[in-house]
């Protein structure tokens, strides 16, 4: 999950269990816009460290977090030559890879820089795999690092991978190792030293590492990474997929093994497509259309199930729904789409390198991702920390078998306090309704919108599908439309100079309705040098029958996660309003700027308590 870039920029880190890759440059997303960037802006006051730090999202107590791209400094190291001004290594794109639930405990591995919040002028990488544990996915205990670069097959970095529990008994981590300054990549395995330790604190690398090497004609050996969680194939053998670029084409290479230690490549890949030239942070899992029950890939998959292949690239997490052809041992998409701009996104905002796992405790599939900072490198240094994880989400496939649905895990509701409830509101064109009585900086808001008429829906232009962000910029919250824009204004200053708008706009396309959801950050802060885009995406909606369009938004200081239409579309954003720093407070409103009146049958909101993240029972912080 990296690109060859000056090694000085590779001081990024790992995220979620087994890793997430970070993009610290402005890489284009599917529509050609940068997914995020780090402009150089002036340092901010130290108070920012606390005011922008989230209260209930996962992040280490200090320093940089994202996905594996580091090396430790102990012992001989052939990766770094301090006399060289330019060192060829990989710039990590972010990703998650390797969460697991084992013996009553959730494990989260993440890439972590123990020496700082990422200094772009420091060429010494020192990333380790951080490790935290939880019993509820919300409150976390920080442990010592699980994996450090210390063997020849990972001496220049322990990168992304995945966790698999073999037959419900033996946890295994398979991860990518960087073996030299040319960014050649191999796959390694680590096992817990003591399975009876409930926290699995110590991990040991097997002597046979690397277990998979780059010996494929046409393979770019610097684009060969991120092995998936294992599953049982039709012959009873284990399978994993590894992201790769082969002859310039994005490919999910397929490997099989009897014992999870000795691997043989299957000649035919799991799937390949020339829409992208490199796939990283692969995820492959089974789902049953219309059921929110998760499936364990190491168990028998029921008939009628679909499979999902997720890839991370260019700051976007995209997925394809299809079937797993057991006879040919390959993934067959329901619809082949050669233009990646039309692939469906997991999340349309700052959400990358996601990884899912089967939660056997609740029989669900859970997904989460890395959400990077979108202020500057110097801001990160001033804050002393950088990077968070999204709130874990339950994920399933809708009834028509086309779209993934995501919803925050129910455990997050344990943080709710001070509920307010409004019913029967009506928003005419230009109306603002202020939502009071809760902490608007740490909140969970659920609101239903019901247009009183569908006659004024504007005509949909199919070309907009290629660039929904452009449509969010041009048809923003202040531009009057037919049905919409309507939604929430959050983190607003007294005079509205600062605000973030999360809103919908309804369009008519032939016999169906298309809804645009936006999270517009362009006026989110008066601070200079921030990346403040207008995120957005489209989804189909049966307005005549469903009538109500729901919005749920989790606000956690600098993090905003929004879920439209019950989780059919999701947008994650990072914001840095001055009002947060100045302690002026923030306002929240429901609004409508469309000509059609919109009813609000239900509006519920809560303040959110602070979660216990990376602290021990006695209250002392454990630095990962």
The dihedral of CA 351, 146, 71, 11: what is its sign?
A: positive
Q: Please give the Cα distance from 528 to 493 (Å, whole number).
A: 17
SS3 382: helix
Residue from 252, 196, 202 nearest 224 by CA: 252
Tokens 């205990």 correspond to: 141
Whole-angstrom distance, CA of residue 538 vs CA of residue 248? 30
Residue 504 and residue 498: Cα distance in Å, rounded?
A: 20
Asked whether the beta carbons of 1 and 13 are under 8 A apart, the reply is: no
Catalytic-residue membership of 67: yes
CA dist 500 and 229 (Å) reads 37
Pairing of strands 385-386, 63-66: parallel
Q: Under a CB-based contact definition with an 8 Å cutoff, are residues 339 and 540 in contact?
A: no
CA separation for the pair 409, 426 (Å, rounded): 31
**Burial class of 304 by CB neighbour count within 10 A (0 to 12, 13 to 18, 19+):** exposed
Round to whole Å and give the CA distance between 142 and 132: 4
Angle of CA points 119, 124, 127, to nearest 5°: 85
> What is the rounded end-to-end Cα distance, in angstroms, of the chain?
22
Find the catalytic residue in 6, 67, 136, 584. 67
Going by C-alpha positions, the residue among 172, 173, 186, 177 that lies closest to residue 159 is: 177
Provide Rg for the chain, Cα atoms.
23
Residues carrying an active site annotation: 67
């Amino acid at each position: 999950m990296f690109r060859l870039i000056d090694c000085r920029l590779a001081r990024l880190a790992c995220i979620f269990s087994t890793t997430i890759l970070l993009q610290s440059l402005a890489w284009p997303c599917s529509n050609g816009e940068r997914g995020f960037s780090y402009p150089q802006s002036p340092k901010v006051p130290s108070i920012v460290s606390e005011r922008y730090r989230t209260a209930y999202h996962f992040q280490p107590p200090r320093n940089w977090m994202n996905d594996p791209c580091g090396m430790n400094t102990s012992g001989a190291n052939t990766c770094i030559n301090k006399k060289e001004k330019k060192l060829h290594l990989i710039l990590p794109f972010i990703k998650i890879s390797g969460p697991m639930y084992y013996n009553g405990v959730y494990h989260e591995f993440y890439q972590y820089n123990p020496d700082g919040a990422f200094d772009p002028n420091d060429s010494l990488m020192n990333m380790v795999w951080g490790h935290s544990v939880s019993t509820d996915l919300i409150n976390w205990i920080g442990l010592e690092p699980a994996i450090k670069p210390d063997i020849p097959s990972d001496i220049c970095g322990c990168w992304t991978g995945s966790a698999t529990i073999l037959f419900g008994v033996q946890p295994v981590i398979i991860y990518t190792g960087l073996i030299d300054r040319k960014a050649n990549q191999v796959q390694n395995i680590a096992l817990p030293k003591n399975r009876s330790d409930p926290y699995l604190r110590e991990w040991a690398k097997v002597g046979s590492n690397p277990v998979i090497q780059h010996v494929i004609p046409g393979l770019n050996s610097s684009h060969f990474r991120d092995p998936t969680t294992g599953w049982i194939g039709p012959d009873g053998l284990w399978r994993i997929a590894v992201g790769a670029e082969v002859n310039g084409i994005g490919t999910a290479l397929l490997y099989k093994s009897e014992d999870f230690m000795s691997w043989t490549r299957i000649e035919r890949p799991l799937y390949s497509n020339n829409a992208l030239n490199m796939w990283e942070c692969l995820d492959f899992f089974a789902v049953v259309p219309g059921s929110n029950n998760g499936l364990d890939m190491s168990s028998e998959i029921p008939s009628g199930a679909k499979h999902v292949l997720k890839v991370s690239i260019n700051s976007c997490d995209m997925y394809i729904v299809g079937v797993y052809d057991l006879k040919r041992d390959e993934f067959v998409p329901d619809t082949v789409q050669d233009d990646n701009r039309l692939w469906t996104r997991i999340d349309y905002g700052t959400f990358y390198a996601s990884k899912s796992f089967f939660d056997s405790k609740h029989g669900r599939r859970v997904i989460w991702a890395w959400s990077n900072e979108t202020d500057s490198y110097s801001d990160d240094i001033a804050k002393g920390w950088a990077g968070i994880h999204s709130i874990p989400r339950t994920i399933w496939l809708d009834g028509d078998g086309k779209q993934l649905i995501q919803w925050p895990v129910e455990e997050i509701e344990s943080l709710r306090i001070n509920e307010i409830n409004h019913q029967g509101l009506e928003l005419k064109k230009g109306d603002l309704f202020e939502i009071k009585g809760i902490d608007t900086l740490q909140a969970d808001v659920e609101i239903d919108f019901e247009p009183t008429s569908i006659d004024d829906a504007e005509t949909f232009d199919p070309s907009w599908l290629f660039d929904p962000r452009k449509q969010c910029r041009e048809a923003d919250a202040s531009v009057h439309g037919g049905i919409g824009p309507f939604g929430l204004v959050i983190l607003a200053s007294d005079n509205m100079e600062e605000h973030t708008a999360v809103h919908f706009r309804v369009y008519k396309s032939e016999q169906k309705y298309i809804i645009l959801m936006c999270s517009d950050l362009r006026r989110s802060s008066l601070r200079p040098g921030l990346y403040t885009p207008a995120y957005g995406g489209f989804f189909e909606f049966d307005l005549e029958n469903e009538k109500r369009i729901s919005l749920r938004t989790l606000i956690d200081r600098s993090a905003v996660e929004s879920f439209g239409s019950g989780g059919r579309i999701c947008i994650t954003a990072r914001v840095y309003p001055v009002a947060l720093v100045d302690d002026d407070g923030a306002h929240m409103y429901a609004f409508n700027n469309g000509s059609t009146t919109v009813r609000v049958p239900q509006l519920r909101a809560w303040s959110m308590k602070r979660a216990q993240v990376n602290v021990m029972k006695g209250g002392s912080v454990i630095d990962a």
